[in-house]
Each structure stands twice: as structure tokens, then as C-alpha cells.
Amino acid sequence: MEMNRRALLLTSAALAANVVAPEAAFAQEQPRRGGIMTVHFPTEQRILNPSLQASTGVYIVGGKIQEPLVDLDAAGNPAPCLAESWEATPDGKTITFKLRQGVTWHDGRPFTSADVQFTAMEMWKKILNYGTTLQLFLEAVDTPDAHTAIFRYSRPMPLNLLLRALPDLGYVSAKHIYEGTDIRQNPANTAPMGTGPFRFVQYERGQFIIADRNPNYWRNNMPYLDRVVWRVVSDRSAAAAQMESGQLLFSPFSALSIADFTRLGRDPRFEVTTRGNEGNARTNTLEFNFRNPILADIRVRRAIAHALDIPFFIENFLGPFAKVGTGPIPTTSPDFYPANMPQYPFNRAQANRMLDEAGHRRGAGGVRFNLRLNPAPWGEDIALWSTFIQQSLNEVGIRVEIVRLDAAGFLRTVYNDWNFDLATGWHQYRNDPAVSTTVWYRSGQPRGAPWTNQWGWTDAETDQVIDAAATELDTARRKALYADFVRRANTELPLWMPIEQIFVSVINRRLRNHSNTPRWASSSWHDLWLAS
Amino acid sequence: MPTLLIILAAMFLLLQLAPGDTVDALIAQMGGGGDAKLAEELRRFYGLDLSIPAQLGNYVWRLIRFDLGFSAIYGKPVATVIFERLPATLALMTAALSFAFSVGLVLGVIAAKRVNGWPDTVISTLGLIFYATPSFWFGLMAIVLFSVHLQWLPAGGFEDVAAGLTGFARLRDIAAHLVLPTLTLGLIFLAIYLRIMRASMLEVLTLDFVRTARAKGLDETRVMVRHVLRNAMLPMVTLIGLQAGTMLGGSVVVESVFSLPGLGRLAYEAVVQRDLNTLLGIVFVSALLVIAVNFLVDLLYARLDPRIGNGGAP
């Protein structure tokens, strides 16, 4: 009963927030049972279990089969899922979760605190990416009874940080499936078993994954759908055609081309939106290698930032789904977003002046110096952005050579071999700066760890602010510390994050109750239904 | 066999030259957040902590025992992974080759019979257009026309999994899914076949035995089918043998556009993900397939031209 009321509130909140959206017209519609949801699955994954790998490619499948302790509600606040309630001791070192009773795994065994203990200690702490850092100081999980899990930390863990991280990093796996096995090789990694609304049925490599309705789901009478089918479609244009022919009903996480977003957005059969992905914000980066003495000069880095006309680029290349970024914390994170931080608006004359001042006079052909730029191979926007950087910097006398590599080559060359001058890719913001943002700036990252500070830049004061914020329990003080962090990051400019984007969903309008939480594409879809 | 071993070793070394390994590719997929310990553990898990000669030695030793190893991307034996992909690849390849061969043959004959007439001009121009158009564009346009606008055929995939069809209905469904990819893949080869057929028909038509056959008073159809066609077929059959290999590798584009689970896409995926075992396994299986096809072609030669079968006597 409790849950139904919450689900209802959640839905009405989502509807209220989108009065102009056509969904409002269906507010009185009775959810229809049955139907098959077909989802675009662009790249195959080695693992489908979200307790072992935190990435959108895993959530889009595993997130329907397994569930986290905590989820996000429509407003983006932590909401109960497998955990019903939580509390922390004042010293922040003990956090107690009361678990939901009467929940069973898909094989019929009961879900208990032992599962939480096993998953936290063996998976989140040891294997799960971002989890290993988050749970670094987790010492033990006590289980006084079957429905209580007490997390004990050796250093204070801000409850808010944990609750915001758990929707992504808190998926629970069954102890009885994994205990005593080699976790990395367990067959359940590609045939996941969970407590979620859909039960895994079949994974045919290169073709499809199928999951069927779980008739014993703990949310009464849910889910509405009979079956979810993920279809592997690697070609963007082919996926757009399958959306149009109705073979696919949903394409998540910006997996179509920018031109198709615009085209399908005008088609009344589809909704093209960033709604439901607010929890998956990313910024486009411009990374500097300080081992190149030219770039170690802050005047050069600032001049480069000033040389880029971001509003022009966004308007002409990215369209309505991107906006000007202001630094490492995006505007989608009101709990931490600091206003009025140092910025670098487009000013070509100033860029030229700063480069002159730095002693880089124009030589033959108006060229000051040459740089190599390594763009990450994911995302059409990065390819466009790297060409735009090349042409913009050419205008101020910096000749840029673009070095394109595939994913493995890019990571190795930039983050392990440090063989680059400029690099550009995405920084993924995961609801709290401590999860995956501050690592881009904190010194002392192991060599080869991608998307971390591999620039050869060390700033003791920045390190101090980052460390203090990670264990600060007071919410207001924590926000102030992160404002300090952004101010320092934007002043010293070891890397620049001038564009902010949210993933784009393309959704067939037959779907109802979609995009109703900030991480809807990753979430369980228990209340999703399909109009006839 | 020695050739095969050299190819495999060369592929192995070539892939070592590409920066990054399968763990880098996996971390790219995870979106980061792994510490150094995790990467190290994964390298040990995939056997990448050994030296390159040791890795190569291990691979060859396994191959000798007919073990293709374990696929890093799919987490199962490479043999299983490849076997799962073979049906789609073979179905697409045989369908496209037969389509290209038969239609190319007919069009080539018509063009040769009416050489320099309007049918010849139309057919030759069409052939040139098919040959010059990139297959991904053909594929996408076919999807836009037949799947999106006319809604006659499915836009992609190997079968309609949601419907859960069985038996004959399932076969029909798969056939419907293969129509567009077959046409797309076949059209380019069709252009080649029809040019070859036309040229060799024209050549054979001028030979003495054709004149003799006509002088004997045989009717035109008989002359064409028994005498001209049979001799003009030899270059076509040669071409099939050569193209069987190209078709296996060349279908990456068509498989991607039509989301088919074939070997081409698997190979592409294996390179991007630096999955050595899978890639080498595909090379191995493709080589075997090409050898098998060429063996069949040799047999066909002997049937078409008895001189080839009996020790090369004139």
C-alpha cells in the first residue's frame, strides 16, 4: 500500500513537472497490462550484472533485472528500493539500512541482509568500478538480523554522498549464486539473477537479450509489461530506421546521430528528450598535458580557453541538447552547483594578446606552435568538437594535428603513455562530485587510470579541499568546499569543461510512465506500460 | 597448414602493434573508476601479464590441440562464439552469391546477345551504377524505402524474437529478414558477374566450335546453352571461389546496417575490443571456409570442362 502511494506520487510529480508534454493528456488513462518493450542496445557488454560494472551499457539491461538498495525519486532525492529506511550515527562511521521484507530472488530464495553483506564486501569494495573508491574505508557490514545491514566505515562517510551514489553503485547480487565461485567468471554475470521486475530469459550474442515479467515482484501487480527485448543494433542510421519502422520503441543514451535527433524530434510519433537522464550529465573536456612546457604555462591554457566560441559551436553543431558549461560541476546538480565561478568567454583578441605575452610570437605562416589533439572515439559530438578546436586554435596561430584512435588506443595513449598535448572526451558527473569528478583534479592517481588527473599537474591546496569535502558530514559546509574546489579548478585550469550535455532519449509515444525519474533509462521500469 | 600458421602468427603480432589491450577496451566500456589494482587483476585474468612470445606460444600450443581459446568479450569459448555466428553468415553469403551469380548470368547473356543494342546499354549502365554505389548507402536507402515507408520488410535483425515463431513460420520470418541484406550485398557482386559473363560470352561466341555447332543446324537455344554458356561459365566459377573469401570479410558493413549477427561484425568487434583469441579464431575459420569453397570450385571445373579433370590432357 505504502509503495503504491509512493508510485502514484512519483507519477503525478513527473506529470506536474511536464505540463506541456503530451503525456499530461493521458493522466487519467488506465495502465494497460501486457505488451513487449523493445530497446536499442548499441554495444554489447562483457558483463550484465550492475553489482560488478557501473556503466550505462549495463544498467540499461541489468537495471531491470537487479535492484539497488536506494533509487532516486522524481525530484532526484534518494528513495527506498531494496532498503526501506536508513540512518547514520553522528560520527558518520556507521550507517544502518533496514531492508525490505518479503522480497525474493528470481529463483525463489528470500532476499536477506547476507546478500547485502556479500555484495558490498566482495563486489562493491573489490570489483565494482567507482565502488572500490567509494567503499575504500568500508570495514565490515554487520547483519544482526535478516533485514538489517550495518555498514561500518573507518572514516566518516557522508550519508548524502552514499545515498546519492547507491542508485548506481548499490545493486545487490544473490550471495547463494556467487559465494565460493570465481566472481569474474560466474555464468550469472551474463545471465543475471535479481529481485527486479523482469527475469532474465536469454542472451543471444550479436542479436538480442530477452527478459520476461517477474510474476512474484514485490511491488504488487507490477510490472505492466510482459517482456523486454534488447536488440543489438550497432549502426546509428539503422537504429533510427528501426525506431521509425517500430521495431524499436526506445533508443537510450544519445545512441542516434545528432541529425536524427532533430529529424525524429519533428515527427509526432516520437519524443526526443533529455528528461529522464538528468542524473547522467556529462561535460566535454579539454585536457592539457603539463609535460609540454608550452601548456604548463597558465597563460597559454587560458588563451586556448578564450579562443573557443562555445555558444557558436553549440548552436551550429550540437543543437538544443547541449549548453555552455561552467566547470566540473554541471547545473543539473543544484545541491553542489556553485554560481559565479571564473569563466573564459570567447575573446580572440585577448587570446592572441595572452599568447604574445607568454612569449609565443607568430612565426612563419602566422604559426606560433604545434600541438597534437587526441579526441576520444565515443560520441559524434567529440569528433565535431575536436575539429572545431583545431579550426579555432588555427585562428590564433596554434596549429593542431588531430590523432584519432579507437577506444583502447585512446585510453592507453593518453592516460598511460601520456603521449598527447591536448585530449578531449567526456567527463561523466555521477550526482556527487566525490564519485567521479574530483579524481580528474586530485593528484596522486595511479598511472594508467583513465578519466583521472594524468596531466602532470599537482596542486596541494586543491588536493586538500577535495579530501576535506569527501569526508565532510555537514551538507552546507560540503557545498562550500566544492565551490572552493570549482573556483580553484577554473582558475588553475588543468583541464577545461566548457560544454554541458545530458544524454538524449528517443522514445516512441506509445510508451507511458517513461522518463519519470532522473535516471529512468537505468531504472527498473516497473511502472512502464505500453498504450495500444 | 603452414600458410595458416603464418597468417595467424602475423595477425597476432599485428594486433600487438595497436595501442591498448583488451583491458583498456573493457575499462573504456566501464566508463572508468577502476583502480590500478583492478586493471592489474584483469590483465592477469585475461593472461596478458605474460610476455608476447609466451602468449603466442600458448596460443599456438592450444591451437595444435584444436582449442581456439576463450573469448574476452563474450566470456565463452571462441569455438562456441563463432559457431553461433556461422548460420547467419553462411545464410547471407549463399543467398547473396546465388542471387548475384544467377541474375548476373542471365543479364550477362542478354547483354551479350544484344551487344550494343538498347538492352545492353541499359544493363551495362545499371551494372556500373550498382558497382559504384557504396553498399551501406544502398542498404540504408533500401531500409528507408521498404521498411520505413512501405513497411513491407523488417528493417534489421535476423529474426523477430518478440513473436516467438517456430518451424516454417520462423523460416519464413528469417527469409523476410534476409531479403534486403541479400540484395544489398548481392548487387555489387551482380555487377561484376554480369560484366564478366558478358565479356566471356562475346569471346566464346566468336570461336570456331560455335560456328560449327550452328553449321550442324542446331537451334539457337541449344547452341547458347550447351556450347556457349558452358564454356563461358569457367571465369564465373573462378570468380565464385575468389569471392567467397571477400564476402566473408566484406559483409561487416551489411551486417552492421542490417544488425545481423555475422562473422564480419564479430571480427570488427574483436579488433575494437582487442579480443585476440576471437579474432584469430575467425581468421582460422574463415581460412577453412575459403579452402572448402575453393575445393568445391575445383570439382565444378572438372565437371564443366572435362579437360581439367583428366590430368590436363588437351
CB < 8 Å to B265, chain A = 206, 234
User: Does any CB of chain A come closer than 8 Å to the CB of residue B140?
Assistant: yes
Answer yes or no: is pLDDT of B221 > 50.
yes
pLDDT level of residue B312 (50, 70, 90 thresholds): very low
- pLDDT bin (cut points 50, 70, 90) of residue B249 is low
Strand partners, A148: A98
ipTM of the complex as predicted: 0.80
Determine the distance in angstroms separating the CA of B266 from the nearest CA of chain A, rounded to an integer: 8
Q: Which residues pair with A423 in a beta bridge?
A: A287, A374
Nearest to A451 among B32, B45, B143 (CB): B32
| B 9-68: CB under 8 A from A | 18-22, 24-39, 45
pLDDT digits (tens, 9 = 90+) for A330-346: 998 888 999 999 999 99
Give all domains of chain A, ordered by start, each with its CATH number: 2-49+196-276+504-530 (3.40.190.10), 67-180 (3.90.76.10), 279-501 (3.10.105.10)
Residue B186 CA, chain-centre distance (Å), reads: 10
Contacts of B20 in chain A (CB under 8 A): 405-413
Cβ–Cβ below 8 Å for A436 and B157:
no
Q: Cβ A204–B155 below 8 Å, yes or no?
A: no
- The one-digit pLDDT tens for each residue of chain A (532 residues) are 334 444 444 444 443 344 344 444 445 578 889 899 999 999 888 889 999 988 889 999 999 999 999 999 988 889 999 999 999 999 999 999 999 999 999 999 999 999 999 999 999 998 888 888 889 899 999 999 999 999 999 999 999 889 989 999 999 999 999 999 988 888 899 999 999 999 999 998 888 999 999 999 999 889 999 999 999 998 888 899 999 988 899 999 999 999 899 999 999 999 999 999 988 899 999 999 999 999 999 999 999 999 999 999 999 999 888 999 999 999 988 889 999 999 999 999 999 999 999 999 998 889 999 999 999 998 899 999 999 999 999 999 999 999 999 888 898 899 989 999 999 999 989 888 988 899 999 998 888 888 889 999 999 999 999 999 988 888 899 999 999 999 999 999 999 999 999 999 999 999 999 999 999 999 999 999 998 8
The predicted model scores a pTM of 0.84
Residues 193-222 (A) with a CB less than 8 A from some CB of B = 204-208, 210
Contact residues, chain B, for A446 at CB < 8 Å: 35-36
Query: In whole angstroms, what is the distance from residue B268 CA to residue B254 CA?
Result: 12
List the single residue in B with minimal CA-CA distance to A226: B162
Report the number of secondary-structure helices (H) and strands (E) in chain A: 17, 22
Instruction: Work out the average pLDDT over B134-155.
Output: 84
Q: How many whole angstroms separate alpha carbon B131 and alpha carbon B192?
A: 7
Distance from CA of A129 to the nearest CA of B (A): 5
What does each C-alpha distance from A309 to A347, B272, B288 come to in angstroms?
8, 33, 56
DSSP per-residue letters across B76-104? SBHHHHHHHHHHHHHHHHHHHHHHHHHHH
Question: Cβ of A357 under 8 Å from any chain B Cβ?
Answer: no
pLDDT at A93: 93
Is the minimum CB–CB distance between A114 and chain B shorter than 8 Å? no
Give the three-state DSSP class for A191. coil
Find, in chain B, the residue whose alpha carbon is nearest to that of A128: B34
The shortest C-alpha distance from A90 to chain B (Å) reads: 29
Task: Give A402 to chain B, closest Cα distance, Å.
Answer: 16
Cell of B183: 540484395
Q: Are the beta carbons of B272 and A451 separated by less than 8 Å? A: no
Report yes or no: A532 at the B interface, CB cutoff 8 Å: no
Burial annotation A7-20 (CB, 10 A radius, 16+ → b, else e): beebbeebbeeeee
Instruction: Please tell me which residue, A466 or B23, carries the higher pLDDT value.
Output: A466
Backbone angles phi, psi at A115, to 5 degrees: -65, -40
